Amino acid sequence: MHAVGVSSFGARIIARRRSGISSISGSQAMAVLRMMSLVHSRSLPPTHLSAESFNGRNRIVGAQRLWPTVCTTRSWSSQIRADAGVAAVDATKKAAQSGAFVDGLLGVESEAGRRLTSSQIIFLGTGTSEGIPRVSCLTNPEKSCAVCLAAAQLGNKNRRRNTSVIVRYLAPDGRLLNILIDAGKFFYHSALQWFPYYGIRNLDAVIITHAHADANGGLDDLRDWTNNVQPHIPIYVGLRDLTVMAKSHYYLVDTSVVMKGTAVTKLQFIPMSEEPFEVHGLKVTPLPVWHGPGYRSLGFRVGDVCYISDASEIPAETYPLLENCDLLILDALRPDRSSATHFGMPAALDEVRKIRPKRTLFTGICMSWIPCSFAKQFFMGCLLLQYLMKYLMAALCEMTEMTGMMHTMDHDKINAELAKLLDSEGLDVQLSFDGMQIPIDL
């Protein structure tokens, strides 16, 4: 057994030798830990890393923090993404394999280079504005949020970034065009993970649904493309939203205000109305919806795919645009109720019953409503009720696990319940997840 000391970061690495396997150098082990962000803080607990033989090669198969909530350590496929686990890392290579960057880990098999035979849609993000997991849940000493704790594990489908999809349009002339819908705050992190994996390099257009940060907060990051991949990127955005962005993204909308010599993203803003328009020959139909009282947001239809990521109400004039929909991608924030600006699952299901698409995937998913820890802190603040609330809170937390009202927007559990609708109502409804790929006919 060979030990590698990292006491300055309050962690240790144990590299185990097995029959026919060479030991892992300290520099390789430290590099992997840095990539996994496990040694960036002195407060982190000790960590151990093991090397095992896998298909005749040395691979680091996992890293575990030595505390009660321990991440599972098994190899996983980013194609299936069914279980929480750690991606295998080839410890003998210094460079990343082609198309292999998943949450800071190298060596994951990718689909880059595989020839597409149809258009497809890829979910870059399926979460709400804050994303999942949330820092407040991970740092809560009570560790009461099961969804966020699960999402902290690599490969878990509860890990969600800002809602965004990329439409990969296989044009009649054979060109493969990448059309991004929304570039929010987490866009660059999504691109790091999924662009190499799916072999996506260029961005042929970006379409913005509305002027909130979870839809356009990543526009500045497009400079990596306009500096290194392509000269500019067309941005399709509603005129009202462009007026807002002229203030929030003033230096992107009006580059004349930028200091000379400063690198700035080269974007071509194209105002759009609520009428259909074309992007590189692909017809795009706006789907006007309400994203809270008086606030207009846009969904979009391409072919028979309808995408509505931020909505609290669908106006009457939009329903005809949703007829004969094969795939509906719809906002569903919480399992129990709607908010002022987003459909909850009951309201979203009512919309599915009206529209009757062949298939529905929910997006914009939150971890859930209110953690038990918050309610406990609130009630325990009432000193006269502490003794009574000790028992009431235990009953409350037990109840919420049954009703799905608090912190139970778990991907697999919710999908198991939604699957029952196929038999009872003929509705094919499931939650989407980050990295999900769907072939579509355009």
Which position has the higher pLDDT, 123 or 106? 123
Same domain, 258 and 381: no
Confidence of residue 74 (pLDDT cuts 50, 70, 90): very low
Which position has the higher pLDDT, 196 or 114? 196
In a domain, residue 62? The reply is yes
Asked if residues 358 and 428 have their Cβ atoms less than 8 Å apart, the reply is yes
Residues 6+ apart with CB under 8 A from 75: 54, 61, 85, 86, 87, 88
Same domain, 178 and 47: no
Confidence of residue 168 (pLDDT cuts 50, 70, 90): very high
Confidence of residue 34 (pLDDT cuts 50, 70, 90): very low
* Tokens representing residue 252 in the block: 């992107």
In a domain, residue 304? The reply is yes
- Does the structure show a pLDDT above 90 at 130? no
Nearest of 351, 348, 346, 352 to residue 404 by alpha carbon? 346
Domains held by the chain: number: 3
Same domain, 188 and 50: no
- Rounded Cα distance between 429 and 328, Å, is 9
- Rounded Cα distance between 42 and 39, Å, is 7
| Rounded alpha-carbon distances, angstroms, from residue 336 to 32, 348, 405 | 41, 11, 6
- Does the structure show a pLDDT above 60 at 31? no
- Does the structure show a pLDDT above 90 at 422? yes
- Does the structure show a pLDDT above 90 at 46? no
Q: Can you give the pLDDT at residue 22? A: 40
| Rounded alpha-carbon distances, angstroms, from residue 145 to 132, 155, 396 | 11, 18, 14
Expressed as residue numbers, the domain containing 383 is: 372-403
Same domain, 393 and 411: no
Which position has the higher pLDDT, 54 or 181? 181
Q: What is the CATH number of the domain that holds 148?
A: 3.60.15.10
Q: Can you give the pLDDT at residue 92? A: 39
Same domain, 124 and 216: yes
| Neighbouring C-beta atoms of residue 58, cutoff 10 Å | 21
In a domain, residue 226? The reply is yes
In a domain, residue 177? The reply is yes
In a domain, residue 192? The reply is yes
What residue type is assigned to position 329 of the chain? I
Same domain, 200 and 326: yes
- Rounded Cα distance between 224 and 200, Å, is 14
Asked if residues 9 and 39 have their Cβ atoms less than 8 Å apart, the reply is yes
Question: Which residue's entry shows tokens 């990539």?
Answer: 35
Q: Among 86-90, 331-335, 374-378, which is the least confidently predicted range? A: 86-90
* Tokens representing residue 346 in the block: 């009951």
Average pLDDT, the chain: 74
- Rounded Cα distance between 342 and 337, Å, is 9
Q: Can you give the pLDDT at residue 216? A: 95
In a domain, residue 193? The reply is yes
Nearest of 125, 83, 78, 110 to residue 432 by alpha carbon? 125
Same domain, 286 and 382: no
Percentage of the chain with pLDDT > 70? 65
- Does the structure show a pLDDT above 70 at 230? yes
3-state secondary structure of 380: helix
- Does the structure show a pLDDT above 50 at 246? yes
Average pLDDT over residues 381-397: 46
User: How far, rounded to the nearest angstrom, does the alpha carbon of residue 71 sit from its chain's CA centroid?
Assistant: 20
Q: Can you give the pLDDT at residue 349? A: 96
Which position has the higher pLDDT, 342 or 278? 278
Q: Can you give the pLDDT at residue 408? A: 52
In a domain, residue 97? The reply is no
C-alpha triplet 389, 392, 393: angle, nearest 5°: 85
In a domain, residue 102? The reply is no
Q: Can you give the pLDDT at residue 367? A: 66
Average pLDDT over residues 415-420: 94
Same domain, 306 and 198: yes
Same domain, 350 and 243: yes
